[in-house]
């Protein structure tokens, strides 16, 4: 690996990731990090590997390092927020997502991740629904947001609104197992 270029290493790691061989990818990246220290692409991939290996606490320092190297990067802050969220450090996740949105207030993935963070906290379901509704206003076919909004409604006891969200998903993705199962769940009650 020592004689390989950064591009070749990244390609090789991407092939490992496509095969979901996260542990080998992590090991290759750790070696690459020694040769190409402080490279945001390597640090981000290291963080991603730790997330997929269900070790989000190990991902946080890598993503924090990327934020230090690229302080204006919305994606770097979003990734750090994801690591905090999976580590169940909700206050730091929220703070990091909100920082990212200061750079780009309409960054869809960060909005969706912040909504998912709120969804995990029952007392914040209303905040999650508000964010998801804003994403759906921009893209009415965003099935991921429609599903999560439907789940917010369902948990909040608004089954008619939940049903509408799940039915709308089926207009865009007729074979959506998630939407079909959610509708079955509502109908069985």
Check if CATH label 1.25.40.10 holds for domain 1-100. yes
Check if CATH label 1.25.60.10 holds for domain 106-189. no
Chain segment 125-181, per-residue pLDDT in tens: 999 999 999 999 999 999 999 999 999 999 999 999 999 999 999 999 999 999 999
Question: Is 50 exceeded by the pLDDT of residue 1?
Answer: no
What are the φ/ψ torsions at residue 87 (nearest 5 degrees)? Answer: -80, 0
Question: Other C-beta atoms within 10 Å of 178: how many?
Answer: 15
Scan for tokens 């991939």, then name that residue. 45
Question: Is 50 exceeded by the pLDDT of residue 187?
Answer: yes
What pLDDT score was predicted for residue 4? 78
What pLDDT score was predicted for residue 6? 87
Average pLDDT of the residues in 19-41: 95
Question: Cβ neighbours of residue 61 under 8 Å, at least 6 residues apart?
Answer: none
CATH 1.25.40.10 residue window(s) in the chain: 1-100, 106-189
What pLDDT score was predicted for residue 68? 97
**Apex CA 62: angle with CA 59 and CA 65, to 5°?**
145
What pLDDT score was predicted for residue 11? 93
Chain segment 70-106, per-residue pLDDT in tens: 999 999 999 999 999 999 999 999 999 999 999 999 9
What pLDDT score was predicted for residue 25? 95
Among candidate residues 79, 86, 69, 84, the one with its CA nearest the CA of residue 107:
79
What pLDDT score was predicted for residue 2? 45
């Amino acid at each position: 690996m020592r004689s390989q270029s950064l591009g070749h290493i990244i390609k090789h790691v991407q092939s490992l990731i496509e095969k979901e061989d996260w542990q080998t990818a992590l090991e290759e990246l750790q070696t690459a990090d020694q040769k190409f220290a402080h490279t945001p692409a390597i640090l981000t991939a290291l963080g991603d590997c730790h997330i997929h290996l269900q070790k989000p606490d190990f991902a946080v320092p890598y993503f924090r390092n990327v934020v230090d190297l690229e302080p204006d990067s919305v994606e770097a802050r979003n990734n750090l927020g994801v690591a905090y969220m999976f580590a169940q450090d909700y206050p730091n996740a929220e703070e990091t997502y909100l920082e990212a949105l200061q750079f780009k207030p309409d960054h869809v993935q960060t909005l969706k991740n912040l909504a998912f963070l709120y969804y995990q906290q029952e007392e914040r379901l209303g905040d999650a629904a508000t964010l998801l509704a804003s994403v759906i206003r921009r893209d009415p076919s965003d099935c991921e947001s429609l599903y999560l909004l439907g789940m917010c409604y369902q948990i909040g006891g608004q089954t008619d609104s939940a049903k509408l969200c799940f039915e709308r998903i089926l207009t865009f993705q007729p074979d959506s197992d998630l939407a079909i199962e959610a509708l079955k769940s509502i109908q069985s009650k």
